[in-house]
Structure 1
């Protein structure tokens, strides 16, 4: 495995198979023994690769999780077209919550969030993940603008951010459970705010008359 050092992984051949085996082993270990029990040695043994291969490429379980998260972050949630802003936001939020409730995905997400507090690489991965999700879902707001449902200057990114804020806060700050009702409530509140013109782009507020 000497050729699998840092920077040598390529999207094909033996290195791709090695990477896939390590990813599968990592996920299995996290589910079986949790983050605290997962080690590079255990991952390498389960994957059937030399532990020096894993150590050279990633160095730690945390960095391995961040790297695998980055590779998977390009997968996007399908965007529904229900004919209304609230309906589209509700489906988006429900799909997001369903994914976060999957043990495997939740475990990896938890680790990346924790690592992002002190690790710039993890922070960059998490920031890129959310930026891609927001960009993918922004079509929901553009459709609402085209229907005349919300003002033309509605800030699409802010709409999508606010839909996810309540359940991410529950997951990673308060520790409260989340479910479909949280998705429905977030969609209803954000759709109402958008229709009332409260989620305009910052430029609108910067040029408005200040309150007396």
Structure 2
């Protein structure tokens, strides 16, 4: 949650409470990945985490609160985009990270389940938007660095470059349900880098 919001489970106290918080939020993600949003219950999360269900209800209020808090917690984890020294290959690394996150990474089931859950719960959708906004912001650093190297003109919108590079990957993975090949990833990175170099992502008047 942002600092302006105060939903249940949004504080980060220390000591045993902090350990219980991590246990509950990790258990929520595990349940989401293994069984999907529709099958999560507070009882299952409580049993998996070892935290009494009364505590879970009191702090998170129910399944929506749990999933929202778990996604917000995930957004806080350390992550930085790969730097290769060139915009094209930086964007390729981002596209590869997205593809791997849904197909190869240990958390791949959670990634897909979180997107599906966002269609069922506005609270989860809000948390997913915050998660993606955070990742776009962090990823945009590679574009900002490319602008400084002269690979794209001043005024280029870094986050729009990132969106353009990864959008075809998300489309294939989540909409058309097609395989994503290395050639697909190279193409989206190349097209986006070339478009950025031509000023396509400089906002108009």
In 1, Cα distance between the equivalents of 2:82 and 2:110? Answer: 26
RMSD: 2.6
**TM-score (structure 1 length as normaliser):** 0.78
- Residues 44-123 of structure 1 mapped to structure 2, 5 A cutoff: 44-102=46-104, 105-117=107-119, 119-123=121-125
1:45-103 CA-partner distances (Å, limit 9, x unpaired): 22222222222333433431221111111235433332321011111221232223356
Asked if structure 1 preserves the Cα contact closer than 8 Å seen for 2:81 and 2:94, the reply is: yes
Asked if structure 2 preserves the Cα contact closer than 8 Å seen for 1:62 and 1:111, the reply is: no
Q: SS of the counterpart of 1:198?
A: coil
Asked if structure 2 preserves the Cα contact closer than 8 Å seen for 1:164 and 1:186, the reply is: yes
* 1:181/1:63 CA distance change after superposition, 3 Å: farther
> Between Structure 1 and Structure 2, whose CA radius of gyration is higher?
1
* 1:34/1:153 CA distance change after superposition, 3 Å: closer
Q: What's the counterpart of residue 194 of structure 1?
A: 196
Most deviating of 64-73 and 180-189: 180-189
**TM-score (structure 2 length as normaliser):** 0.80
Gaps of 5+ in 1: 1-5, 207-212
Gaps of 5+ in 2: 1-7
Higher relative contact order (CA 8 A, sep 6+): 2
